Amino acid sequence: MADSKALTLTVLGSAGAYRTHDGSRASGYVVQHGSTSLVLDLGHGTYAPLAAHLGVGGLPQLSAVAISHLHPDHWVDLAALRHALVHGNRMEGDARSVPVIAPSGLAARLATLLDDRTPEEQAAGAHSPAQPFAISTWRTDAALPPLGSGRSISFGDLTIQSARVRHTGESYALRVAIGDQAGVTYSGDVSHWQDLAAIAQPGDTLLCEAAGGAAEWREGDTHLTAYGAGRAATASRVTRLLLTHFGAEVDPVEATRAAATEFSGEIVSVREGDRFEI
């Protein structure tokens, strides 16, 4: 029987941007506790399993969507979610704006992608394509946060924290927990495993990208390998390492073996539909 006090993590998609193997949906995860549901990234292909998991009628009750960075394989299915919220005729409850927290610039990109207004409507500023989202950023002011810094926001019993990491552009690792309990730390995309020390806590489950698989990391790489994911897990003293976001030709079995040379705890290469208690 599931522990009612536990967080649950459901994998909507775990692939890199152009993986063609079985399980090719991009990054997307749902963390839940009670009636609170937080989505961590919503890359291409992840809307359908999200709707299946929550029920189409339950989508307006999403607590929030948290976006780690602005590469499309981490947010582009916001377009599908938007269409469902605006045009769906099976939604339950009152209409509401779903909070979306993201790096600076998402609103403009989403508007460019979705804008179906006439020139007259554009001039009048009517029918913003950002609706029905309430978009905010991980910044506390206009300045780009220092590495390791971000925001902490609560939704129901859950608190989501961000910490800026090195990848490309403005990128964040995210952590979800109940109070001071162990939680789930999600790496987003990150180039240097050491950056995760600013956010991962002892006892956490670390959901960590390993786009490089069992390859050796080289300076200038913008993603971790499985070795780096293992080092981050050991350094942060987490209890479980979930490998995700594999590159196009990465073998998950080899990636798991590589991570095991650096981390002695439980290691799982996640797949679409996996569910974990935290």
Domain boundaries, the chain: 8-277
The rounded radius of gyration (Å) of the Cα atoms in the chain is 18
User: What are the beta bridge partners of residue 271?
Assistant: none
Superfamily of domain 8-277: Ribonuclease Z/Hydroxyacylglutathione hydrolase-like (3.60.15.10)
Where do the DSSP E strands lie in the chain? 8-13, 28-33, 36-42, 64-66, 98-102, 133-137, 152-155, 158-165, 171-178, 184-186, 205-209, 240-244, 266-269, 275-277
- Tell me the mean pLDDT per 10 residues along the chain, length 278: 76 86 86 97 97 92 96 96 80 71 92 70 57 89 92 96 95 97 97 97 98 91 96 98 92 96 98 96
CB environment 24-33: b (16+ within 10 A), e (fewer): bbbbbbbbbb
pLDDT of residue 239: 98
User: What are the beta bridge partners of residue 158?
Assistant: 155, 178
Listed in sequence order, the DSSP H helices in the chain are 47-54, 78-87, 106-114, 119-124, 226-236, 252-260
Tell me which residue has tokens 């599908």.
Answer: 80
pLDDT of residue 1: 38
Q: DSSP letter at 198?
A: G
Instruction: Tell me the two tokens of residue 16.
Output: 């890199």
Tell me which residue has tokens 């536990």.
Answer: 6
With vertex at residue 168, the alpha carbon angle to CA 167 and CA 171, rounded to the nearest 5 degrees, is: 65
pLDDT of residue 266: 98
What whole-number distance in Å separates Cα of residue 156 and Cα of residue 254? 39
The CA-atom distances, in angstroms, between 272 and each of 25, 27, 63, 185, 245 are 8, 10, 22, 18, 11
- Provide the whole-model pTM: 0.92
